[in-house]
Amino acid sequence: MKNENSPLVHKKHLLVRLWQYIKPYKGIVFASCVLTLASNVLALLGPLLSGRAIDAIEPGPGQVDFTLVLKYVLMMIAFFAVSSLLNYILSILMIRIGRNIMYSMRNDVFDKLSRMPVGFFDRCQAGEVISIISYDIDTINSSISTDIIQIATSFVTVLGALIMMLTIRAELVLIFAVTVPIFAYYTRKRIKRVRPLYKARSEKLGKLNGFAEEAVTGQKTVKAYNREDYMLSGFDSRNIEAVETAYNAEYYGSINGPIANLFNNSSVALVCIFGSLLYLSGAITLGSVSSFVLFSRKFAGPINEFANIISDLQSAFAAANRVFWLIDETPEKPDALTALPLEHTDGNISFKDVSFYYESSMEILNHVSFEAPTGSLTAIVGPTGAGKTTIINLLMRFYDAQSGEIQLDGTNICDIKRTSYRSRYSMVLQDTWLFHGTIFQNIAYGAESATREDVEKAAKTAEIHDFILSLPDGYATLISDNGANISKGQKQLLTIARAMLSGAKMLILDEATSNVDTDTERKILKAMKKLTKGKTCFVIAHRLSTVENADNILVVDGGKIIEEGTHENLLKKEGLYYKIYRSQFEI
């Protein structure tokens, strides 16, 4: 990922965006704040009641008014019970809000991910996205669900205490007029210092995640090369970075609490000294000093709490920054406004003078033109790196050509809605993609309404039915991560069965049978020939036996189509195709 230069989203902007997630629950947030207040007031009533109870005890031995004591004690219990209940309801509300926010944030990230251009997935490690979806969103959630209430209560307490202090002795409040701004200034500076540290922490954790994911994926290779220690040293260096950046963030972040404490304590000490001096000069009663000090402590407490929240919030902001960074990544270019969904498809494909280059590499497709009419089988052959897969990438609109156009039934495919366009295709790649699920689910993946018979029929066509039946669980066999009991070739057969079932009008096979033995392949091709009647097929293969029967063979080299024709015609030409063909039999 290119997050080295992911900019810090401005904090105000960040807050606005976070608010978008909280907004739907603003009613609940408000209710929670009211509940907090109510529960705090009830908790404060406790001491009042206990005071009354003690008043009833006050008369001394033999004179205690037990009915009164009991009355107040019972009231106390009732009040505390209600207060605790409110407290619990409050927690539940906050958990629910947190849950909803987390849920929609994750969905948004995934939704964004699903709209990224294919090239993004060659640059972005799965582990990093996982880190954003788990760690970063988690951090935001835990901050939102605790800090909002904290801030609300702190605010109320601070305000109340300030009013009380002002009524007692306004002059003494001046002490806070000095210390609070200093503290505020200090906190601001700290935030500036600390934010990039939390950002670095999030990023390094993402990197660690990315590496771990890759290593687990390639574990077999690592083992075969006995490179465990090498991978470990790669992991360690990222681990150390992650731990050190976390330490750095903690190192500076954890100062806030104690420093706030220092400010508060010194403020209270100053209040105490000046208050006492005022008392000595006769300007104030001792009782006033005592209660002023009491309120000043109440005033300072939330400020202290606030400082802790601030470092919490910083890590949440850093996390939000990463989440929004992903959400803000440029998605696949949206469909043109005039783009229409497809209604009826015949399946005539034509490339008209198409040129293309990848941003990141030199590979170029150079003025490619060809026609693939409905029901035809077009084969693309050529040496490795010639641009065969690029043609498919353009055909599927994974990338858009820089010049020229590709037409489906005479319409420029850029004028068709992508989802609608792609839904006409089915594709099998050399890199088989199966997911964790049963064989049945994997085959039926492209055709939701497929019945058991449909799936079996497809499996039979793909010559994999017998194998599936030989497994102890048959079609219910779970495809595991390693898929040890299923060979690569069998996996290819499963994906072929999947593609056959999908019923798409156009079929792309990119080295789809490369790991399948020739005999099986021949049988599949034969069966497919029947199945693909009326479908437009594209086949990339090195094995020329796969392409011999193609209606049209495109011979690609250096990004250009240098020959085109049927097997026989091309052989007669004695050009590159002929050479490739001959090379099969070179020993």
Q: How are beta strands 560-565 and 411-412 bridged, if at all?
A: unpaired
Q: How are beta strands 349-357 and 364-372 bridged, if at all?
A: antiparallel
> With respect to another protein, which residue has the nearer C-beta, 353 or 517?
517
Euclidean distance between CA atoms 310 and 581, whole angstroms: 70
CB of 144 to another protein, least distance (A): 13
> With respect to another protein, which residue has the nearer C-beta, 410 or 472?
472
> With respect to another protein, which residue has the nearer C-beta, 16 or 92?
92
> With respect to another protein, which residue has the nearer C-beta, 408 or 516?
516
> With respect to another protein, which residue has the nearer C-beta, 446 or 565?
446
Distance between terminal CA atoms of the chain?
45
> With respect to another protein, which residue has the nearer C-beta, 12 or 472?
472
Euclidean distance between CA atoms 426 and 414, whole angstroms: 19
Q: How many CB atoms are located within 10 Å of the residue 457 CB?
A: 17
Euclidean distance between CA atoms 467 and 459, whole angstroms: 10
> With respect to another protein, which residue has the nearer C-beta, 15 or 68?
68
CA-to-CA separations, 18 to 9, 14, 101, 323, 557, in angstroms, rounded: 12, 6, 9, 11, 52
> With respect to another protein, which residue has the nearer C-beta, 156 or 580?
580
> With respect to another protein, which residue has the nearer C-beta, 151 or 243?
243
One-letter amino acid identity for 303? I
CB of 167 to another protein, least distance (A): 19
CB of 583 to another protein, least distance (A): 4
CB of 535 to another protein, least distance (A): 14
Sign of CA dihedral 151, 156, 157, 163: positive
Residue 326, CB half-sphere, CA atoms under 13 Å: how many?
33
> With respect to another protein, which residue has the nearer C-beta, 246 or 318?
246
Taking a C-beta distance cutoff of 8 angstroms, is the pair 416, 579 a contact? no
CB of 27 to another protein, least distance (A): 19
Q: What is the DSSP letter of 564?
A: E
CB of 249 to another protein, least distance (A): 9
Q: Which residues contact 380 (CB under 8 A, 6 or more apart)?
A: 388, 391, 392, 538, 539, 540, 553, 554, 556
* Beta-bridge partner residues of 570: none
CB of 13 to another protein, least distance (A): 26
One-letter amino acid identity for 246? A
Sign of CA dihedral 532, 537, 541, 544: positive
CB of 515 to another protein, least distance (A): 5
Taking a C-beta distance cutoff of 8 angstroms, is the pair 363, 393 a contact? no
CB of 263 to another protein, least distance (A): 9
Written as one string, the DSSP assignment of 158-195 is: HHHHHHHHHHH-HHHHHHHHHHHHHHHHHHHHHHHHHH
> With respect to another protein, which residue has the nearer C-beta, 38 or 222?
222
Q: Which residues contact 339 (CB under 8 A, 6 or more apart)?
A: 414, 415, 416, 417, 418
Euclidean distance between CA atoms 260 and 285, whole angstroms: 30
